[in-house]
A = this chain, B = another copy of it.
């Protein structure tokens, strides 16, 4: 039996304008565009402030109120019929990597704005207000840490503890935040966090699974856990021409033994576990010098906390045993346990895909997102759309207008369900 929300959700989804959404995405990607489809909008930088001004103007021209909070998270609010109801929040981030693409983050914000426009177009009223948010500094490039806006918003991080930090360009965070607040004078300053009914974030998958399976929507059940390890291998530098191999303590060769052993230890037939050596530095890194030191940056991920614990806990011992000549030190530098999104939000997204007859896949997110932190303070979930070859954080990042529209339709129907259609039983 269809509810008012179902009918309104279908109407809102039908009002998503694929051409309008696509043109908005493409135009937004020109703010900080670096050619070849690439974007450079570092958090709170000039180009990112221009993107904020664009969103605030867009909202103002459509009669939405705009809010900004102390960490410069930017909110566009479509009012509900119940003025006191806690809002449903949706959105993502608008900052990018230095050589980023047009869709990582931006898709979730622009698709959410399109959803507001579609609700208007379909004359859908919701009980709860819906707010579209652009979280500050998700990428963590200019200022650390990443996901700063959502962490401060959710209470995982105190702004006062980081306000004095300087960005990679020497500007203090507090000065950069002041510039951002000044960039959108039409925004009302909202110093405290309102109660939130739910959070849903649309995002490109940044992985290859949806495209490979030909499925347009991913329903994200959770975000896999991660453990980061630094491994330092210390041998002895020596002349490559004069030192027999039997007398070497070659840090590169021992690093190779360590990685081989860790490859074996983390091998997973099911191909769920993800083990990556993404950073590798040799010292002195000179062709004719036997490497004295090797430094490895390890990224280990799994959605199951038990597997992550078991596999991660033995990395130090396996690395030490694999080295033949060098000293090995292993340090865990970061860890985040796997997170599960709210079952009701997951169910609501799934219901929206059924309602719209759009095929969907329940999946785990390999990457972090702002939703990870919102998940700690309200029921949260995520909607993924495919991206070409899984490429992200790269100018080659690519999606189609059809994929963009499908995600926006599911998001619109999900928002209607979460915010409650005006005729629903409260």
Q: How many Å lie between the Cα of A224 and that of B242 in the bound state?
A: 9
Given A245-B275, A280-B280, residue A238 in contact with residue B391 (CB < 8 A): yes
For window 242-300 of chain A, which residues contact chain B by CB distance below 8 Å? 242-247, 250, 252-253, 256, 259-260, 263, 268, 271-282, 285-291, 297-299
B residues less than 8 Å from A279 (CB atoms):
282, 285-287
Smallest distance from the beta carbon of A192 to chain B beta carbons, Å?
Answer: 33
Q: Nearest CB to that of A300 among chain B residues?
A: B240
Of A46-54, A78-86, A107-115, A202-210, the segment with at least 4 beta carbons within 8 Å of chain B is: A202-210
Smallest distance from the beta carbon of A12 to chain B beta carbons, Å?
Answer: 29
A237 at the A/B interface (Cβ < 8 Å)? yes
Given A271-B246, A280-B252, residue A239 in contact with residue B207 (CB < 8 A): yes
A243 lies within 8 A of B275 (CB): no
Main DSSP-derived SS at the A contact region: mixed
A73 at the A/B interface (Cβ < 8 Å)? no
For window 207-246 of chain A, which residues contact chain B by CB distance below 8 Å? 207-209, 212, 224, 226, 228, 236-246
A390 lies within 8 A of B242 (CB): yes
How many A residues touch the partner, as a band? 35 or more
A325 at the A/B interface (Cβ < 8 Å)? no
Given A242-B205, A243-B207, A271-B246, residue A288 in contact with residue B282 (CB < 8 A): no
A150 at the A/B interface (Cβ < 8 Å)? no
B247 lies within 8 A of A390 (CB): yes
Smallest distance from the beta carbon of A319 to chain B beta carbons, Å?
Answer: 15
A241 lies within 8 A of B368 (CB): yes
Smallest distance from the beta carbon of A38 to chain B beta carbons, Å?
Answer: 14
Smallest distance from the beta carbon of A419 to chain B beta carbons, Å?
Answer: 30
**Candidates B212, B260, B272, B288; contact of A299 at CB < 8 Å:** B288
B residues less than 8 Å from A391 (CB atoms):
236-238
A392 at the A/B interface (Cβ < 8 Å)? yes
B290 lies within 8 A of A240 (CB): no
A388 at the A/B interface (Cβ < 8 Å)? no
A376 at the A/B interface (Cβ < 8 Å)? no
Given A285-B279, A299-B240, A366-B239, residue A263 in contact with residue B274 (CB < 8 A): no
B393 lies within 8 A of A289 (CB): yes
Q: How many Å lie between the Cα of A268 and that of B245 in the bound state?
A: 9
Smallest distance from the beta carbon of A366 to chain B beta carbons, Å?
Answer: 3
A237 lies within 8 A of B271 (CB): no
A41 at the A/B interface (Cβ < 8 Å)? no
Q: How many Å lie between the Cα of A26 and that of B185 in the bound state?
A: 70
For window 45-94 of chain A, which residues contact chain B by CB distance below 8 Å? none
**Candidates B259, B278, B290, B299; contact of A276 at CB < 8 Å:** B290
A301 at the A/B interface (Cβ < 8 Å)? yes
Identify 27 residue pairs between A and B in the complex whose beta-carbon atoms are under 8 Å apart, listed by A's number. A206-B239, A207-B238, A208-B238, A209-B244, A224-B241, A237-B391, A239-B367, A239-B392, A239-B393, A240-B274, A241-B299, A241-B365, A242-B366, A243-B366, A244-B274, A245-B274, A276-B288, A276-B290, A277-B291, A278-B282, A278-B285, A279-B286, A280-B280, A280-B285, A281-B285, A287-B297, A287-B298
